[in-house]
Structure 1
């Protein structure tokens, strides 16, 4: 099979080792590797993994904090056609045991932590009778890598999965979204365009690498031939030091993290002017260089999820847009579809569906779920959006269920979003209740802010003023709290407590 059109992550590294031999690829504590040295280590690591039986489609698991070893393992796995999963090391032993059982990795590279130590003690049972080779990060990892023969460049299809990230716990357990070389390169290219990444770009990996938000910038930096700086976990003082010492131009920072950095740099101990970032506060803006790139000017706005390799739409591609999710990446298509797979008119809520170069390859070992997610030739995100008159997209919220009132579809997430814009509302959830006339009617369960006052009539009027009249609640119940599953309402519990039911298809 020809490789003439192939471009894998390992191919990108190989090219950089020739065209950027003097550029530092990674910085991690005392470790500094230029691109040729990184490629040499990756080739040996691939040989060591191959000696453990790792081949096409096999999984390698990383259980630890941020490290340059995550990038090395990803590139080495990609050289073999294998898949790296950097898992959330902060999970409980039971959750980690599930990941081990689900993935059945050939090799686990790990760092010491209470949860990882606990699950390692029962690893033989968790990964099945075949077991896995466990390699402790640090000296043991270095010995493992050094002992590997240089793995020659073989054929790897760039549409093959190379990265697995756990997400989408639809049924209470997460699923590993598989991202191919092609998807990651395509997304990185879009990010290069919107962030306007130029030579000398240096990214501080200050967020977790098991999160697509950090990983997407790590890989965009790789594609651009820039420098990835790693810190094990977010520490405001250390972030300041690294930005100053390494002249970082981008970092994984938001909200409270930015505030913590401002506090850590009170008095201007560190020079943060190399950081081109979003405007946030007067103190922050005075410390950094406020960037005018589309990505930063739009305050990193858009819509994304793990399954699309990061961002599907960018507000930076739509200055002045009506829709606060912006426009799609140049390498994807987006449609807003109804339950039958038909595109809804502009202004109507529909499921955000996509196809294109940066879409994931499905979930590992979830054939039935993949059929559902890819029905009709589109990736069904499970989220609701609306196409605005200018063609841009507004993200509404997760599509957890649908209420059928008369012949009209009502999506709880849309009504909840509007309820939460009322100044008296702290939280809200919407369910459907049986209705003799309409099949179902809308009931809102509302938590008011402390000392706030609002009655049912005021809340119904608020929704009616912002949405079509048939979407307004017919009933309002006030509660002390909303039961949750993770970050989303527990709709089953709400139905049981407040008389929900009669959903279409039930």
Structure 2
């Protein structure tokens, strides 16, 4: 099969770095990013990205290089992603709320050559993780002010574009997700997946070069990074705030005429209270200080297609969303033109409409696999289709309904919590014989984590002590809020844990689903 003239294979290459290069030509005076004292035009951002790319190359991080980001929201994370895109490296932004032990485990798994970390708020966690990790990496503080800090090192390197030929299918971001077996896995997301999905997100969110996107959601989650990438791709302005602060968010909404943001309900209530007298002008985002349009954390123009039909199905492994309500149909909507989707039985046979089975996806937006998980990659690959481990069904009109995770997931606020991961942590306690973690409904957070625990004979353990054990070994949001000690756990006839029965017996429910 011919692929055309060899020269045109290179001419047709187009990745995130190329988008940035063209923005410099097309939008030379427009603002690309705002973050505290930093306010950069597209050429200024490109200059810094080139300096970082040359620093990475000088330190051996060319193609297949790996950078770990341990920090809160910052424009420097976007710089890291764009520099990586220009040289073929991969950036992994991790949840800064994780414990030092969890961070060390990720470092040992991802084996980055470079860790870009944050001193403010995270110094203790970072230093402990650095000591505990077996893998050795070079660490630079992105908010430091010494000779080995991010800004100082950038200033030492050329702003000349490295201008390397990097294929757009090269992974550029690794997102840890899917702890379905008790251990998180890093999904590798390519530049092409990000660019193509940005087209859909920009259309759905009504993002243009006039958009101002407040990066107020956690950028270690793809759900909030999608708007960042779409805003970047279409030449809009990305505004960064390190972490959620209602008053600071109000100041930025007014100062930067923010049109898009991520605002969770607890933060919205704070914003309404602070701004009830209209101290801050939020008219670029909401029609009044009461924010009457708010219906989900994803805030955007109320007439945007997504706001009109906020129904989706997806996962990190398929670059976020693969169905959209604004494309028509019922349930979670119709499948994106960037993907194919089918529903199959346990033998891999496609099922007719109305029958529930596993969702399989293929297309440009599917991940490039999990990092260093050959066995899992084989399990998730079924005759050229990605097995999602989610259950769904086709509706009669061809749209898709999401039935639920094949492996149960708990949704607490904006966080995804996998029972197997929490159970593995609980099992490390010497007094515990068995554990089962379920989600119980919560009016504020959607679900809370409840642990059903069987103790070893003769052992005594309080709920408070077990919760503290979990808090010390994993991110605080994952720990159980409720512990119930039981004499035995419900089992299926084959001896496996019967999670449905556990839910029925102990108040489980409220798991995420779109019917």
TM range (shorter): 0.7 to 0.9
Give me the whole-angstrom Cα distance separating, in 1, the residues matched to 2:90 and 2:439. 44
Could you list the per-position Cα deviations for residues 349-371 of structure 1 after superposition, in whole angstroms to 9, with x for gaps in the alignment?
11111111111111111011011
Q: 1:290 to 1:199 in 2, by over 3 A?
A: closer
Q: Specify the alignment match of 1:500 in structure 2.
A: 492
- Alignment partner of 1:322 is 2:330: yes
> Once the 2 structures are TM-superposed, how far is the Cα of residue 400 of structure 1 from its aligned partner?
2.3
Asked if the contact 1:279/1:290 (under 8 Å) is kept, the reply is: no
Change (3 A) 1:163 1:280: farther
Q: Which position in structure 2 is the counterpart of 1:98?
A: 105
Work out which of the residue numbers 251, 259, 262 in structure 1 matches 2:261.
251
In 2, distance between residues paired with 1:176 and 1:135? 22
The residue matched to 1:144 in structure 2 has which SS?
helix
After TM superposition, the structure 1 = structure 2 runs for residues 390-405 of structure 1, keeping only pairs within 5 Å, are: 390-400=397-407
| Secondary structure class of the residue paired with 2:10 | coil
CA-CA distance at 1:260 after TM superposition:
2.8
Q: 1:284 to 1:8 in 2, by over 3 A?
A: closer
Quote the residue 2:207 is aligned against.
Answer: 197
Q: 1:448 to 1:301 in 2, by over 3 A?
A: closer
- Quick one: distance in 2 between partners of 1:341 and 1:283? 43
Answering whether residue 320 of structure 2 is matched by residue 310 of structure 1, we say: yes
Partner of 1:292: 303
Counterpart Cα distance in 2 of 1:10 and 1:197: 20
Map 1:90-129; keep pairs closer than 5 Å.
Answer: 90-112=97-119, 117-121=124-128, 123=130, 126-128=133-135
- Tell me which of 376, 379, 383 is aligned to 2:386: 379
Note closer, same or farther for the CA distance 1:49–1:342 as it changes in structure 2 (3 Å cut): same
Q: Does 1:220 find its partner at 2:230?
A: yes
After superposition, what is the alpha-carbon deviation per residue over 1:226-276, rounded to whole angstroms, capped at 9, x for unaligned? 000000011111111111110011001243333332222111111111116
- Cα pair distance change 1:266/1:97, threshold 3 Å: same
**RMSD of aligned C-alpha atoms?**
3.3
Query: What's the counterpart of residue 421 of structure 1?
Result: none
Inter-partner Cα distance in structure 2 for 1:255 and 1:104: 37
SS at match of 1:369: helix
Question: Could you tell me which residue of structure 1 aligns to residue 187 of structure 2?
Answer: 177
2:339–2:364 CA contact under 8 A, matched in 1: yes
Please name the residue that 1:241 is paired with: 251
1:166 match: secondary structure: strand
> 1:161–1:180: 8 Å Cα contact kept in structure 2?
yes
Residue 439 of structure 1: aligned partner: none
> For the residues of structure 2 that align with 1:503 and 1:350, how far apart are their CA atoms?
24
2:169 equivalent to 1:164: no
- When normalised by structure 2's length, the TM-score is 0.76
User: Matched residue of 2:248: which SS?
Assistant: helix
Partner SS state of residue 489, structure 2: helix
* Number of matched pairs: 425
Residues 73 and 494 of structure 1: CA distance in aligned 2, closer, same or farther (over 3 Å): farther
The CA deviation string for residues 420-440 of structure 1, in whole angstroms up to 9 with x for no partner, is: xxxxxxxxxxxxxxxxxxxxx
Q: Distance in 2 between matches of 1:134 and 1:246?
A: 33
Higher RCO (Cα < 8 Å, 6 or more apart): 2
Question: Aligned residue for 1:407?
Answer: none
| 1:38 matches 2:45 | yes
Structure with larger Rg: 1
Q: Are the aligned partners of 2:282 and 2:289 in contact in 1 as well (CA < 8 Å)?
A: no
Instruction: Please list every run of 5 or more consecutive structure 2 residues that lacks an aligned counterpart in the other structure.
Output: 1-5, 411-437, 444-448, 454-469, 471-477, 499-515
Question: 1:498 is paired with a residue of what secondary structure?
Answer: coil
**Structure 1 regions of 5+ residues with no counterpart?**
402-412, 417-444, 451-479
Distance, in Å, in 1 between the alignment partners of 2:45 and 2:204 is 27
Deviation at 1:498, TM superposition (A): 1.9
Distance in 2 of aligned mates of 1:449 and 1:153: 52
Is the partner of 1:177 in helix, strand or coil? strand
Deviation at 1:278, TM superposition (A): 13
| Aligned residues of 1:346 and 1:387 also touching (Cα < 8 A) | yes
Corresponding residue for 2:154? 145
After superposition, residues 472-491 of structure 1 pair within 5 angstroms as 483=452
Alpha-carbon separation, structure 2, partners of 1:339 and 1:279:
51
Cα drift, residue 301 of structure 1 = 2.3
CA distance in 2, matches of 1:220, 1:353: 25
1:197-232 CA-to-partner distances (Å, cap 9, x unmatched) read: 223011100011101011111000011000000000
Q: State whether structure 2 residue 90 is matched by structure 1 residue 74.
A: no
